[in-house]
Amino acid sequence: MLVAALAAASASAEEVPFKGRTLEVDTGQEAKPILKVDGSRYVVPGSREQLVAKAQACLAAQEGVSVEAVDAEQGRLQVTLLTGFRASFANQTLRTKLAMEVGDGYFQATESSLELAQADGSGYVPLGQSAGLWEKALDALVKHEDALVDCMYR
């Protein structure tokens, strides 16, 4: 039964390119929520341990980043990221979960749980591709990720 549910869920998901990234969008819902954003796999010199330490330092230098978990042995970092941007004549906030996979000589970031803050402060709602804010929200997210990539190459 679980397998059938997972197959149905993946059947309604579509991959969409966006500025060098790949979005996974749930096309089975009217709002077309963006399920995740896969970044490129970057090649950079260093061991897994060195790159995990560097990623931690790079993330700590950014605003809106809260490191939740680091597993240097497995090369994984889990971060909550708050990204501010301006759209629809107002300040907006996008909250995401960033999972970073790090290995010997490479790293890759994947964003999931993309949510916009409600204007009334009552919480967050999923970021949907059908909403007018999604491109500006992802542009702001890309700037955050680009800053991380730039830092990893220094």
- What tokens were used for 103? 């290995």
CA distances from 32 to 9, 28, 49, 54, 126 (A): 13, 7, 38, 35, 9
pTM (predicted TM-score): 0.86
Model confidence band, residue 5 (pLDDT cutoffs 50, 70, 90): very low
For the purposes of burial, counting CB atoms within 10 Å of the CB of 44, is it exposed (0-12), middle (13-18) or buried (19 or more)?
middle
**Which structural domains are found in the chain, ordered by start?**
14-153 (3.30.530.80)
| pLDDT 10s digits, 53-80 | 999 999 999 999 999 999 999 999 999 9
pLDDT for residue 112 is more than 90: yes
